[in-house]
Amino acid sequence: MDIKFCYKQSANGVSHRKSRRSIGLCAAFLAMFSLYCLGAMAQSGGRLIRIDNPVNKTLTELDLPDTLDPRLQTLLIFYALPNGNSIEWTRGKKITGNDDWHFDIQHIAAQTRYLRQVMDDHNIIVAYMANSLKSWPAWKRLSPENPFEIRRLVDSIGGIFQAFHPDIMLNSHSGGGSFVFGYLDAVDRIPDRIKRIAFIDSDYGYEDSLHTAKLGRWLSAGRDHFLTVLAYNDSVVIFNGKPLVSPTGGTWWRSQLLQRKLADSFSFKATADTAFRTYRGLAGRIDIRLKTNPEGKIYHTEQVARNGFIHTVIGGTKYEKKGGYTYWGDRAYSAFIAE
C-alpha cells in the first residue's frame, strides 16, 4: 500500500522545519490507520507499507511482521539504501530469466525473515530509507537543513510505533552511511532509544571531529548500545584502470581511523588471520571487521549478502549463537528468499 504525505502551502509560505514535522505526524497517522484498518500489501513473511513524501523527496517502505504483538519487544531498523539502488532491489528475490542481477546482492527481506525466526521474542520492523536521487550523499547536499530532516524522519517513523516503545537501530550500506551520519550530525547527543548503529562498508563520511566523541558518549551510556563496522580493503582495488578510491577516501582507511580514535577511550582486542582484521571492544559491543583483499577484488556488497545484515543486528548478543550463521559464510537465509 502506498501513502502520500499530507501537505498544504500556507498563504505566507511555510517554515520548513515546522511544516515537515506536521507532515511526518500526518504520515504516522495515515500509516497506522492504513495498517490496522485497511491492511497493507502482503508479502511472504510480512507486510509492506510505503510512505512517499513529495516535499522532501524521500521514500520509506516499512516491512512489518504479519502481526505486531504488544507483549514483545519491538526493534525498528532504519536501513539506508546504497547509492543507485531501488527498494525492490534491496529487498531482493529469487532471480530467474531476465531479472536484474541487483535483486540478488543484498536480500534484506530474506535476512529479515531469518531474523524474525531467530528473534522470535521480538517484533522486527525494517524501514527501507530511500530518496528520489537514489543517493543519500547527493540528497543531503541539497540543503544544509537535510541532516535535521533525517532526524525528523527517524522521529516521525519511530512515532508510528510509539505504543510499542521500540528500540531503534540505524543501519546502512554504501552511500546509505550518509543517512546515519546525517542523523548523528543533527543531534547533540545520541538518544538512548538508539540501541545499535551499523555501517556495512558505508562509513565514508566519518569525521573524527564530528563523530568520535558523540559515538563514545553513546557507547558509554548504555550496555545495550552496539556499534558494528564492516569494511574491506578497497584501497588496493583497480577499476577500469584507476584506483577505486583515494588512499584515504575509502572505508578501509576510514574504519581504521575510527578504530584508532575510539581506542583513545576504549580497550580493544585485536585479532588477525588471512581473511580479516578484527577489533572488538566493550565485551563485543564494538565490533569492527576489516576484510583483507590480497587479490584486489571488489567485495562491496558481498559484505551485505554474506550474512552482513544479520550480523549487524544480532552480533554480540545471545541470538548470535542461536542463529548459527557465520559472517562471510554461506547465506544462512537462503530458505527465506521469496519468489
Q: Which residues contact 166 (CB under 8 A, 6 or more apart)?
A: 74, 75, 76, 123, 125, 158, 193
User: Which has the minimum average pLDDT: 35-49, 179-193, 311-325?
Assistant: 35-49
Distance (Å, whole) CA 52 – CA 34: 14
Cell numbers describing residue 4: 502520500
Q: Do residues 296 and 238 touch, judged by C-beta distance below 8 A?
A: yes
Q: Which residues contact 100 (CB under 8 A, 6 or more apart)?
A: 89
Q: Do residues 39 and 333 touch, judged by C-beta distance below 8 A?
A: no
DSSP 236-262: G-EETTEESS-TTTSHHHHHHHHHHHH
- What one-character DSSP code corresponds to residue 284? G
Residue 14 has pLDDT above 50, yes or no: no
Distance (Å, whole) CA 252 – CA 255: 5
Q: What is the mean pLDDT of residues 254-267?
A: 98
pLDDT digits (tens, 9 = 90+) for 122-151: 999 999 999 999 999 999 999 999 999 999
| Burial of 285 (C-beta count, 10 Å sphere; 0-12/13-18/19+) | buried
pLDDT of residue 3: 54
Class in CATH terms, 2-336? alpha beta
pLDDT digits (tens, 9 = 90+) for 239-248: 999 999 998 9
The CA-to-CA distance between both ends of the chain, in Å, stands at 19
Q: For residue 114, give the 3-state DSSP assignment.
A: helix
Task: Return the closest-CA partner of residue 215 out of 160, 282, 269.
Answer: 282
Residue 2 has pLDDT above 50, yes or no: yes
- What one-character DSSP code corresponds to residue 6? P
Three-state SS string over 179-212 comes to HHHHHHHHCCCCCCCEEEEEEECCCCCCCHHHHH
DSSP 72-84: SEEEEEEEEPPTT
Name the band, by pLDDT with cuts 50, 70 and 90, for residue 44.
low
Distance (Å, whole) CA 129 – CA 90: 10
Using CA atoms, how far residue 201 sits from 159, 177, 228, 331, in Å, is: 29, 8, 10, 18
H or E element in which residue 2 lies: strand 2-4
Name the band, by pLDDT with cuts 50, 70 and 90, for residue 316.
very high
Residue 18 has pLDDT above 50, yes or no: no
Q: What is the mean pLDDT of residues 71-86?
A: 98
Cell numbers describing residue 58: 524521500
Q: Do residues 70 and 22 touch, judged by C-beta distance below 8 A?
A: no
Give the count of beta carbons closer than 10 Å to the beta carbon of residue 314: 21
Task: Return the closest-CA partner of residue 205 out of 179, 187, 228, 186.
Answer: 179
pLDDT digits (tens, 9 = 90+) for 152-192: 999 999 999 999 999 999 999 999 999 999 999 999 999 99
Which pTM does this prediction carry? 0.90
What's the number of CA atoms in the CB half-sphere (13 Å) around residue 34?
22
Q: Where are the domains of the chain?
A: 2-336
**pLDDT, mean over the chain:** 90
